[in-house]
Structure 1
Amino acid sequence: MVTYEEHVPLSEEDVPYYEDVTPGSGCLPPGAWLPGSDAARLPLGGTWRFRLSPTAASEDASFARPEYDDSAWEELRVPGHWVLQGHGAPAYTNTGYPFPVDPPRVPDENPTGDHRYAFDLPADWPAGSAALHFGGVESCARVWLNGSELGHFKGSRLPHEFEAGSLLRPGRNVLAVRVHQWSSGSYLEDQDQWWLPGVFREVELRHRPEGAVRDAFVHAEYDHRTGQGTLRVDSDPAGRVTVPELGLELATGESATVPVEPWTAETPRLYDAELATSGERVPLRIGFRTVVVEDGLLKVNGRPILLRGVNRHEFDPAHGRAVGADVMRRDLLLMKQHNINAVRTSHYPPDPAFLALCDELGLWVVDECDLETHGFAQQGWRANPVDDERWTPALLDRARRMVERDKNHPSVIMWSLGNECGTGRGLSTMAAWMRERDPSRPLHYEGDPGCADTDVYSRMYADHAEVERIGRRTEEPLPDGTLDARRRGLPFVLCEYAHAMGNGPGGLSEYQRLFETYERCQGGFVWEWIDHGLRQYTADGVRYHAYGGDFGEEVHDGNFVCDGLLFPERVPSPGLIEYKKVIEPVRFEAVGPDGAPGAVRVTNLQDFADLSALAFPWSYEVEGLPVAEGTLAVPPLLPGESAEVKLPAPPEDAPRDGEALWTVRAVLAEDAVWAEAGHEIAWGQLPAAPLPVPRPWTPSAAPRRGTDRTLTLGPGVFDATTGVLSRLGGSPVTGPRLDVWRAPTDNDEGAPWQPGQRCGPEWRRIGLHRMRHRTDAVTAEGDALVVRTRVAPAATSLGFAVVHRWTSDGAALRLEVAVTPQGDWPAPLPRLGVRMGLDGDLGAVRWFGGGPGEAYPDTSAAARVGRWSLPVDALQTPYVRPQENGARIGVRWAELTRPDGTGLRIEGEPHYFFTARRWTSEELDAARHTPDLVAGDRVWLNLDHAQHGIGSGSCGPGVLPKYRLEAAPAAFAFTFRPLE
């Protein structure tokens, strides 16, 4: 057994307790989280008294005396963070420590919060032992009860308890807690998140009667070959365990093997049980499952699993890491509803109630230790605590508190040593202790490329090509042949990939195909679940969300804290909608002739469940409108099975002159715990007939010169000098003119450490944000008005020769555009199309094409072809930092209308990207928060022949080659039809 030492002195130097490297003093040994006990419990959350000091210099503990007068102190909500309640300010850094790196010392500027809470002990509170429980305090707490000091602790996201029974008094009691924002523990908590000091998880008094459960360990294994589960519950002290549904009544320590239904993330079967000792009864929820690494694969219950996961920080836009049970459940319901099956608890153990919900609802969990020393990378990993034996007791304390607390959750299938700590002896000591304490779970850690202490090979942000090499087990070898052979035999998981910052991530579909192709590649976890934007309001009450630098931080990492699949208020982003589609567990593929399939192949991509819980409605659509509907009879396919299901004959009365599609869906047949009947799980669209031949365009009007330096062609009026359209159907317009600029996305801007993928800075260097237009010729050529222009940035010879050919049939106006790049373009283009401005009262949009949400070339899996309608304002995606957004892909036609129905219809050849907003790309680019975007009196349209992809370059790989928009000759056309 690896020893667990309580204290190793740093040196002869006398340092205050918050700077020593010990995990603390006075705490009870950690044990399992066992809610629902019949022993008395008293929650101590609510309104506390609070005083903030700018330093930790004061050693005066007189405030802890019960009689101390705190009437002049402020009030503070606990659980909570004082910086989110008007005391000081939050700060955000990604990797750098916001204080000098001089471990374990911290600066004198160390905000320290003194807390007091007076509570009445219930009259029927039993005498005897009691534990004072703290679920989480950042970053170091010193505790007194009724004037007597209990001890102190570090380890912000971990539970700590003190024996308090002898100090309790009848009637009024006073709890006092001194919390330091910075401590030696801060060096172990350099996670990518806000620094938020305070008592942010529950505080509770727990009666511990004689013979109460000090700890319990549930061992519930499942043998997939026999269908039997083996149960043993170890308890201190001994007692008895009953599982009524299984007819079991066992002494603790005794094993029994019986037929059971196994627990999986798809079928989260739990058995209610009770542990009874001489002093306490505790309910248990038992899930039988076995996790192993075998044959180079991660298996649960004998089957390899595919992780469709997310990384999840605990976050609420108003309360920070003080997250309530309702918010936790909402997170998990959203995950289940979006086909997510796994969570990595980045980068610390979550509130234990979250894990209980994962047990109930069904998600695989990688439970990660509260440990990250990423800031030492900037020091070349010098003085890294994980490789300094003086810190080992603190590391072991963190490992022990996680494992002991969470060991009874069937959802937890792997322990993670921590995140981005480099390598060191302390991690090896942690791993050895974990393996001995709980050999039933594999170990995870990404930061050691040699995988010396892990059971899976884990990486962050490996690009698609590298993932494929790893899948083939042909990755670059390690220098140590023994380690290389061991690592090459391990399953592979991307613990972070597809950085979901701003508009994106792109390339998800290609990752998923690799996961499904190579059995070694067992999925991964998108970074991350939610934007950490803190809720703020402008002076006139407009809500927005703050990020790094908005609170005057001297050192910060900007909006890198906003990189989630949810917006801060828990509204799904387009990235989450895309991820749901990419990882959907049922696939539909056409079977039969191209353009007219007679059947659909349905494949069950789940790991354990069959398809009996699903129904399969279909619809036959022409030009985006349903013509007929029904339900397919799909057999209850087992995992991995496929079946070809015959499609009905197209309706005889269906229109024959429009684009026809089958849409087939998989929906819940009955209510589930996490969604109602009818909830959509997966969908597919299949062409029902060859595409109709476009109607020929026959010009019938010729350009006419007016007396006021204008040209008229059909419904259009042009400036005779510049050839620019100025009126269309009687309404003023601006443009259209060639446009190649977009407000760079976070992924366009890229990460500083990936200079080769930073398109945004290169676009600005070239000058694409300040293009200039020159008219070379405006001529009438038969029925056509031909305008030749050159579009180019200053200070370079790069440019585009553009030919605009306008024609009309009298009622509509057609624009054919031919673009020829000039010069040797060193970077891809942001977009290629035309921009034009219309009347601001054209506020409603209807279109036939991809929708209903935004989509770009590599984020278009979720774009469903149909007819959609939205107000112009609803087309915008409110990214916390404004950027390019809102494009609709594959648009055949779009209509913008006024309340009276008049407006404009735009048809495109080929299909195009459509964007409409009430500000220009330049105004969007200049905005830093959503209130910076002020609607103007125009609606600005981008009609794009092509867009550059999105990628994941804000932290991960950039745009895949096939989605790069290289400068090349292009031709496209639009037809503008005024709607009267």
Structure 2
Amino acid sequence: MSFRTTAVDYVEDVSPGSGALPPRAWYAASDAKALSLNGSWRLRVSATIDAEDDSFAEEGYDAGDWAEVQVPGHWVLQGHGSPIYTNHLYPFPVDPPHVPTENPTGDHLRVFDLPEAWPADGGAVVRFDGVESCARVWLNGTDIGEFKGSRLPHEFAVGHLLKPKGNVLAVRVHQWSAGSYLEDQDQWWLPGIFRDVTLLHRPAGSVLDFFVHAGYDHVTGEGTLRVDSDVDGRVTVPALDIDVATGESVTVAVEPWNAETPRLYDGELVTEGERVPLRIGFRTIVLEDGLLKVNGKAILFKGVNRHEWHPEKGRALDLETMREDVLLMKRHNLNAVRTSHYPPHPAFLDLCDEYGLWVIDECDLETHGFTEQDWRDNPVDDDRWTPALLDRAARMVERDKNHPSIVFWSLGNEAGTGRGLTAMAEWIHGRDSSRLVHYEGDWNCRDTDVYSRMYANHAEVEQIGKELDGGTHKRRELPFIQCEYAHAMGNGPGGLADYQELFEKHDRLQGGFIWEWIDHGITHPELGYAYGGDFGEELHDGNFVCDGLIFPDRTPSPGLVEYKKVIEPVRIEGDGADGTVRVTNKYDFADLSALAFEWSYQVEGETVESGSLSVPALKPGETADVKLPEPPADHRGAETQWTVRALLAQDTSWGPAGHVVAWGQFPVAARPLPSVAPTEGPVRGEGQITLGPAAFDARTGALRSVGGVPVEGMRLDVWRATTDNDDGAEWQTDTRYGVLWRALGLHRMQHRLDAVELSDDALTVRTRVSPAAREVGLATVYRWTSDGDRLKLTVSVAPEGDWTVPLPRLGIRFGLAEADAVRWFGGGPGEAYPDSRLASTVGRWQSTVDGLQTPYVRPQENGARADVRWAEIGGLRIEGDPEFWFTARRWTTEQLDAATHLTDLTPGETVWVNLDHGQHGLGSQSCGPGPLPQYHLKAEPAQFSFVFSTAR
């Protein structure tokens, strides 16, 4: 005898559900009545799917003792249970389509009255825009259906069930279901009703589904509009004098839509019972000459992958948060978004239409966990699951088909290959021939219209660009994009400029999408931001969920600032010697008429004169050489440079006038190097040695003070708190230098004193710096000289033994007892590293010590300023020969290395300063490739100097 209940069999049914209406185009509003059912709902959470009966759905049920939650929302972020983070492992046994009996289930109740103005005639539907992962719905005690497909809309006809007062909408939501096997995306598992719930009046003769076809002929400059509608009506576009019947084509002269000039025409679809506003963008997408072309022009994606995220609300985003994302993207020169790995809230696509972003719209499909069993039993190659896959494809395409911003339909992500994907591709191609189909896992491009890859390294990308990558004949004739590259986890990504150079060099390479937009940290009272494992998950992937270009609070990271510079749409190059600046328009469509240019002239990092620069309104791809004015008065003996900026000339929808779009700097006169004549000699005294303004320990030769400023622990330093990209990913076979550094012992170097030597003009301290248990070391000599007022340190380093790994850093570290304000002349205002430094602007900057820190969710090496000529901190002035990397923090590198959250870092009384001759590059090996060889800090002989004096 079986005791398993059949009342919940739908949870493990591989079908998409029952009762829902066919999918249709989404639109924000019409003249038909609508009632938002968002707000406060009653919630009861049960540990299993069959712990409670269905009586809660009946009218009159008393839920007064239930909890209250906000919808849209996730119950685990509102005090009921805990979130779970996995990258690809399923957090339950893999036995499709079965899920655990311990299946958190949230019963939701909402009681509502119809507005007094609600029409008595016609029908009504209730629409759910997103519920994770499976829901069963009742209205006024009647079971109206169940559904799966978390990030997809579902509508149910309910007009016959409504009453004026006291309507009871009951929704049972299960965390796990058969649908969970199709939703194994790299993100938090967060059950709940997390998108809008809306009641829509459906008058007689109202709009059902409609498809706006708006093509553009780039040769004639004409657009052709046809709106197909399930219900006959008329289409009007006043600005174009269009008034035609649905299904009828009309051709008129138009301004086309593209991501740079997103021209939208306001129109209206009018049927007997409803008026629906339209926002129409004319554009044509084709695959031609092996390239993706829009309006006759091959485009270059400068994109990002975007998960939906808010640190307190999870995937329940409001319109203003979505708008903030789009504005940040536009202000940082991004032009494209891949909606990883599911269709976003539909309002986000409205914003992409309005502000101008190319979109790869991705289906809510990922079965990544099946890779653990070599893809055995993968649903996408099992015919039983194909109806669910087709349902997901249809709900994406039908919902989003009227957005001009969408150029690709993506079948999903990391789901292997199989017959189900082929069925999806065939259906999409048949339904919408006006766009291309994308899927990264289809390396042979059997079902797709683009060759797409993740994390291909620079060398492979170049081979692909040269069409030397092999593959099928079809693949070789297709454009290439990196749908994910440059993993933005922690400090990084490095190597962006090198990728961009390849994208711009080879026509076949049509750009890529950084992984990803935002760190998925969850606000936590003790930890600051929590990540995987912080909620007691049995299986988790740690801080791999924090890999974005913006921090959880949407503050841009240094990685986003660098990306803005790398992809800026105007190249500004100059020759300081002849006073000429070369300007190149790198837009795909727009000329430069929307930009104003200005020049400024810096002496020792300070602007002494500035003015406007007349630059022609260059067309895309055009270049002009523009003469700069005569330099200001002679500043012989000083470092001088030009800076030229391209700014928004007027306010735009996404940025204010004066917003910097692009910039370039180029030197005129080089920096005079600091010099100290060794006119003073060391003097041995009682327990100390004095040399000019400095005092040293007589036994060890260690610096104790400069000009009365105490200095602690100055010595060679090669260790940095490893970055996520230093440590790499466990599955990678490439060299992971962070792991090798620890194995070698570079985090616990020992310093042996060999000699303290006094000569007539110098104090020389000879040491050997090496890790325990290893024979390799660094013979290090500190040579101190002085002219009486200033103190010069020359450090000479010679590797000993067989060094097979690069160094994390190479420089000196010391502590200052009192330091807060920092001034420097060099790169800024933010941090920079060898393969992520294009955004570093040479100038004079100031900060506090705390302001120098970059708050990566998992603490790690951060905050270095590049190309520093001099810095002032704690009463000291430090000049470098050559320029150096400057870092200062209120904790040691060892404390930073040991911290797992920002709240682990407790400021001490000492500020620790690093003056580095070199830093190892960043790369993006937390998932992608490591730093290129030219950014490795090789263990080789080196010599560098610093001049110390009291600050002015």
Identify whether the pair has TM-score above 0.5, normalized to the shorter chain: yes
Q: Where does 1:524-539 land on structure 2 (aligned, <5 Å)?
A: 524-538=512-526
In 2, Cα distance between equivalents of 1:834 and 1:796: 22
Secondary structure, in 3 states, of the residue corresponding to 2:321? helix
Of residues 543, 563, 567 in structure 2, which corresponds to 1:559?
A: 543
Q: Is the 8 A contact 2:692 2:791 kept in 1?
A: yes
Distance 2:638 2:528 in 1: 44
Q: Which residue of 2 aligns with 1:360?
A: 354
Q: 1:468 maps to which residue?
A: 462
The answer to whether the 8 Å contact 1:31/1:214 transfers is yes
Q: Is the contact made by 2:140 and 2:161 (CA closer than 8 Å) also made in structure 1?
A: yes
Could you tell me which of 621, 631, 636 is aligned with 2:602?
621
Q: Who is 2:558 aligned against? A: 574
For 2:444, the equivalent position in structure 1 comes to 450
Report the equivalent of 2:100. 107
**Is residue 757–residue 957 contact of structure 1 (8 Å, CA) maintained in 2?**
no
Give the whole-Å Cα distance in 2 for the aligned partners of 1:427 and 1:500. 29
CA change 1:199–1:661 in 2 (3 A) is same
Whether the 8 Å contact between 1:602 and 1:644 is mirrored in structure 2 is yes
- Whether 1:930 aligns to 2:902 is yes
CA-CA distance at 1:15 after TM superposition: 7.3
Distance in 2, matches of 1:745 and 1:124, equals 60
Q: How many residues align?
A: 947
Letter paired with 1:875: L
Matches within 5 A, 1:933-952: 933-952=905-924
Distance (whole Å) between structure 2 residues aligned to residue 696 and residue 80 of structure 1: 64
1:125, distance to aligned residue in structure 2 (A)? 1.3
Look up the SS of the partner of 1:110 in the other structure: coil
3-state SS, counterpart of residue 18 of structure 1: helix
Asked whether 1:965 is paired with 2:932, we answer: no
Aligned position for 2:161: 167
Structure 2 residues not aligned, in runs of 5+: none
Rounded to whole Å, the distance in 2 between the matches of 1:723 and 1:258 is 84
- Give the letter for the 1:135 counterpart: D
1:102-138 deviations in Å (ceiling 9; x for gaps): 0000011100000000001112211331001000000
Per-residue deviation at 1:597? 3.1
Match of 1:211 among 197, 205, 210: 205
| Matching residue within 506, 509, 523 for 2:511 | 523
**Any conservation in 2 of the 1:585–1:606 contact (CA below 8 Å)?**
yes
Q: Secondary structure at the match of 1:578?
A: helix
Q: Is the Cα contact below 8 Å between 2:709 and 2:876 reproduced in 1? A: no
Identify the residue that residue 7 of structure 1 maps to in structure 2. Answer: none
Task: Give the counterpart of 1:687 among 667, 670, 693.
Answer: 667
Query: 1:925-980 deviations in whole A, cap 9, x for unaligned?
Result: 00010011000011100000000000000000001000001100000000010137
Letter in structure 2 aligned against 1:598: G
What secondary structure, in the 3-state scheme, does the structure 1 residue paired with 2:47 have?
strand
Residue 769 of structure 1: aligned partner? 747
Q: Confirm or deny: 8 A CA contact 1:588 1:601 kept in the other structure.
A: yes
2:689 matches 1:711: yes
Instruction: Establish whether residue 834 from structure 1 lines up as the match of residue 806 from structure 2.
Output: no
Report what 2:325 is aligned to. Answer: 331
Structure 2 match to 1:495: 483
The answer to whether the aligner puts 1:657 opposite 2:650 as a matched pair is: no
Q: State how far apart, in whole Å, the 1-side matches of 2:414 and 2:951 are.
A: 59
Task: Quote the Cα distance in structure 1 between the aligned partners of 2:887 and 2:415.
Answer: 44
Q: Contact 1:35 / 1:282 at 8 angstroms: preserved in 2? A: no
Give unpaired runs (5+ residues) of structure 1. Answer: 1-11, 479-483, 898-902
Secondary structure of 1:757's counterpart equals coil
Q: What residue number does 1:916 align with?
A: 888
Report percent identity of matched pairs.
Answer: 67
Deviation at 1:655, TM superposition (A): 2.3
Q: Choose 58-67 or 872-881, whichever is displaced more.
A: 58-67
Aligned AA (1:121): L
Which whole-Å CA distance do the structure 2 matches of 1:950 and 1:584 have between them? Answer: 21
1:52 matched to 2:42? The reply is no
Partners of 2:897 and 2:882 lie apart in 1 by 28
Would you identify which runs of 4 or more consecutive aligned residues in structure 1 move more than 4 Å? 12-15
Counterpart CA distance in 1 for 2:28 and 2:851 is 44
Match of 1:125 in 2: 118
The reply to whether residue 863 of structure 1 matches residue 840 of structure 2 is yes
Match of 2:77 among 84, 96, 106: 84
Q: What is the distance in 2 between the residues matched to 1:459 and 1:755?
A: 18
Contact 1:315 1:323 (8 Å CA) reproduced: yes
Is contact 1:30–1:401 with CA below 8 Å preserved after alignment? yes
Structure 1 residue matching 2:103: 3-state secondary structure = strand
**Cα distance in 2 between the residues matched to 1:615 and 1:230:** 35
Partner secondary structure for residue 269 of structure 1: coil
In the alignment, the residues of structure 1 paired with residue 671 and residue 157 of structure 2 have an alpha-carbon distance, to the nearest angstrom, of: 79
8 Å Cα contact 1:314-1:350 kept in structure 2: yes
Instruction: State the one-letter code of the partner of 1:798.
Output: V
Which of 389, 392, 413 is the matching residue for 2:383?
389
Cα deviation for residue 701 of structure 1 reads: 1.0
CA contact (8 A) 1:232 1:252 kept: yes
8 Å contact kept, 1:123–1:171: no
Counterpart residue type for residue 551 of structure 1:
F
Q: Does 1:893 align with 2:870?
A: yes
User: Any idea what the Cα deviations from partners look like across 1:671-713, whole Å, max 9, x if unmatched?
Assistant: 0000100000000001123x14435421111111111x21111
The one-letter code sitting in structure 1 at the alignment partner of 2:53 is D
Contact 1:504-1:952 at 8 Å conserved across structures: yes
Give the secondary-structure state (helix, strand or coil) at the position aligned to 1:761: helix
Instruction: Give the match for residue 438 of structure 1.
Output: 432
Contact 1:92 1:547 in 2 (8 A): yes
Question: Residues 280-319 of structure 1 correspond to what in structure 2 (within 5 A)?
Answer: 280-319=274-313
User: Which residue of 597, 600, 610 corresponds with 2:591?
Assistant: 610
Q: Structure 2: how far apart are the matches of 1:410 and 1:37?
A: 20
SS in 2 for 1:282: strand
Residue in structure 1 matching 2:925, options 942, 945, 953:
953
> 2:724 aligned with 1:758, yes or no?
no
Which residue in 2 is equivalent to 1:239? 233
CA distance in 2, matches of 1:181, 1:522: 39
Contact 2:647 2:658 in 1 (8 A): yes
1:590 equivalent in alignment to 2:609: no
* CA distance in 2 between partners of 1:340 and 1:918 (Å): 35
1:94 aligns with 2:72: no
The equivalent residue for 2:769 is: 791
- For residues 131 and 694 of structure 1, the distance between their equivalents in structure 2, rounded to whole angstroms, comes to 75
Which residue pairs with 1:877 in the alignment? 854
Match of 1:144 among 138, 141, 149: 138
Letter in 1 for 2:921: G
Once residues 325 and 882 of structure 1 are traced to their aligned partners in structure 2, the CA distance between those partners, rounded to angstroms, is 31
Cα distance in structure 1, aligned partners of 2:54 and 2:203: 31
Structure 2 distance, partners of 1:15, 1:424, is 29
